[in-house]
Structure 1
Amino acid sequence: MPSAGLVPRRVAQLSALLAMFALFTAQIVSALLPNIPVFVAASAAGLALDTYLQYRDPGLLALLGKVRFDALVRQLLRDMMILVGLLRIDGIDPLREQAPLLIGLCVFYAVHFACQGVSVLVRRSRTLPIVTRNIDASALRLSTAPPRILARRQAHRLLTFSVPITTGLLVTAATQDATWGGIGLGASLTLLVAGTAYLASWLLPKKRAKNEQQVMEWLDGWLEKYRPTTAMYFSGGTSSAYQANMWLSTLSQLEKPLIVLRERFMVQKIDATDVPVICFPKVSTMFSLENSTLKMMLHPANAAKTSQVLRIPTIKHAFINHGESDKLSSCNPYAKAYDEVWVAGPAARDRYALAEVGVEDKDIVEVGRPQLAPIRPYAGPPTRPFTTVLYAPTWEGWDGNPGNTSVVLAGENIVRRLLADEKVRLLYKPHPMTGSVDPRAGVANERIKAMIREANTKRSGARPSAEAAAELTRRTADLDKLTSTSFRSSADEMERMLLQGTPSGDREAAIAEATLAWEKAYWASFPEWEHLIVTEARPAIFACFNEADLLISDVSSVVSDWLSSEKPYAVANTSGMTETAFRTGFPTVSAGVVLTPSAAEVPALLEAVRNPEKDHFTQARADLKEHLLGPSDPPSLVRFDAAVRTLCAKADDRRVRMESRLAAEIPSPRGAADELTGEPSEAEPSDAEDAFSSAESR
Structure 2
Amino acid sequence: MRPLSRFRRFGPLAALGVAFAGQVAGAVRPDAGLLAASTAAGLGLELLLHRRHRRLSRVLSKARADVMVRQLVRDLLLVAGLMNLEPHGPGRHYLPLCYGLLACYALYVACQGAVGKVRRSRTLPVLTRNIDASALRLRPAPPALAARRPGVRLLGSGLPATSGLMAAALTGDGRWAVAGVALSVLLAGAGLAVLLAWLLPGRRPAGEAEVLAWFDAWLAEYRPTVGMYFSGGTSSAYQANMWLEPLAALGGRPVIVLRERFMMQKLGPTDLPVVCVPKVAHLMRLERSTLRVLIHPANSGKTSQVLRIPSIKHAFVNHGESDKLSSCNPYAKAYDEVWVAGPAARERYARAEVGVDNRDVVEIGRPQLAPILPYAGPPAARPVTVLYAPTWEGWTDDPGNTSVVLAGENLVRALLADPGVRLLYRPHPLTGSVDPRAAAADARIRRLVGDASGVPARTRGGKPEKVRRVFPARADDAERMLLQGVPESGRAAAVAAREAAREAAYWAALGPAEHRVVTGARPSLYSCFNQADLLIGDVSSVVSDFLASGKPYAVANTGGLSEEEFRAAFPTVRAATVLTPDARGVPELLDAVRDPSKDRLAAVRAELKEQLLGPADPPSPVRFAAAVEALAARAAERGARVPRPRTEPDPRAVRDA
Matched residue type, 1:489: A
Q: CA deviation at 1:518?
A: 2.4
**1:247-646 matches, cutoff 5 A:** 247-254=243-250, 255-457=252-454, 486-646=470-630
1:130 to 126, 129, 135: 126
Residue in 2 that maps onto 1:115: 111
Matched residue type, 2:545: D
2:635 to 651, 674, 678: 651
Task: Sort the Cα spacing of 1:549 and 1:92 in 2 relative to 1 into closer, same or farther, 3 A.
Answer: farther
Matched residue type, 1:263: E
TM-score, normalised to structure 1, is 0.89
Task: Sort the Cα spacing of 1:457 and 1:496 in 2 relative to 1 into closer, same or farther, 3 A.
Answer: closer
Larger Rg: 1
Conservation of the 8 A alpha-carbon contact between 2:344 and 2:612: yes
Q: CA deviation at 1:388?
A: 1.3
Residue in 2 that maps onto 1:217: 213
Task: Sort the Cα spacing of 1:533 and 1:341 in 2 relative to 1 into closer, same or farther, 3 A.
Answer: same
Q: What's the CA shift string for 1:253-299, capped at 9, x where partnerless? A: 12311111111111111011111111111111111111111111110
Aligned residues: CA RMSD: 1.9
Q: What's the CA shift string for 1:445-487, capped at 9, x where partnerless? A: 22222222333359xxxxxxxxxxxxx99xx88xx7xxx6611
**1:11-50 matches, cutoff 5 A:** 11-50=7-46
**1:152-301 matches, cutoff 5 A:** 152-254=148-250, 255-301=252-298
Residue in 2 that maps onto 1:694: none
**2:198 match: secondary structure:** helix
Q: CA deviation at 1:505?
A: 1.6
Residue in 1 that maps onto 2:460: none
**2:603 match: secondary structure:** helix
Matched residue type, 1:522: Y
Residue in 1 that maps onto 2:459: none
**Distance in 2 of aligned mates of 1:118 and 1:93:** 40
Q: What's the CA shift string for 1:571-598, capped at 9, x where partnerless? A: 0101100000000000000011100111
Q: CA deviation at 1:42?
A: 1.1
Residue in 1 that maps onto 2:458: none
**Distance in 2 of aligned mates of 1:604 and 1:123:** 62
**Distance in 2 of aligned mates of 1:456 and 1:264:** 40
**Distance in 1 of aligned mates of 2:608 and 2:419:** 32
**Distance in 1 of aligned mates of 2:644 and 2:401:** 52
**Distance in 1 of aligned mates of 2:549 and 2:88:** 84
Conservation of the 8 A alpha-carbon contact between 1:395 and 1:405: yes
**Distance in 2 of aligned mates of 1:527 and 1:485:** 29
Conservation of the 8 A alpha-carbon contact between 2:84 and 2:90: no
Q: CA deviation at 1:95?
A: 4.0
Q: CA deviation at 1:148?
A: 2.0
Conservation of the 8 A alpha-carbon contact between 1:92 and 1:98: no
**Distance in 1 of aligned mates of 2:453 and 2:77:** 57
**Distance in 2 of aligned mates of 1:159 and 1:517:** 44
**Distance in 1 of aligned mates of 2:91 and 2:123:** 48
| The 10-residue stretch of structure 1 (209-218 or 195-204) with the greater mean CA deviation from structure 2 | 195-204
Matched residue type, 1:122: V
Matched residue type, 2:480: R
**1:432 match: secondary structure:** coil
Task: Sort the Cα spacing of 1:244 and 1:263 in 2 relative to 1 into closer, same or farther, 3 A.
Answer: same
Q: CA deviation at 1:443?
A: 2.0
Residue in 2 that maps onto 1:461: none
Q: CA deviation at 1:400?
A: 1.1
Conservation of the 8 A alpha-carbon contact between 1:144 and 1:491: yes
Matched residue type, 1:88: N
1:54 to 50, 67, 85: 50
Tell me whether 1:82 sits opposite 2:68 in the alignment. Answer: no
Residue in 2 that maps onto 1:147: 143
Residue in 1 that maps onto 2:649: none
**1:73 match: secondary structure:** helix
Task: Sort the Cα spacing of 1:422 and 1:127 in 2 relative to 1 into closer, same or farther, 3 A.
Answer: same
| The 10-residue stretch of structure 1 (8-17 or 288-297) with the greater mean CA deviation from structure 2 | 8-17
Task: Sort the Cα spacing of 1:485 and 1:250 in 2 relative to 1 into closer, same or farther, 3 A.
Answer: farther
Matched residue type, 2:559: S
Matched residue type, 2:598: K
Give aligned pairs, total: 639
**Distance in 1 of aligned mates of 2:214 and 2:559:** 55
**Distance in 1 of aligned mates of 2:559 and 2:502:** 39
**1:233 match: secondary structure:** strand
Matched residue type, 1:266: M
**Distance in 2 of aligned mates of 1:349 and 1:184:** 75
Matched residue type, 2:62: K
Q: What's the CA shift string for 1:591-623, capped at 9, x where partnerless? A: 111001111111111111122121111111111
TM-score, normalised to structure 2, is 0.94
Conservation of the 8 A alpha-carbon contact between 1:231 and 1:257: yes
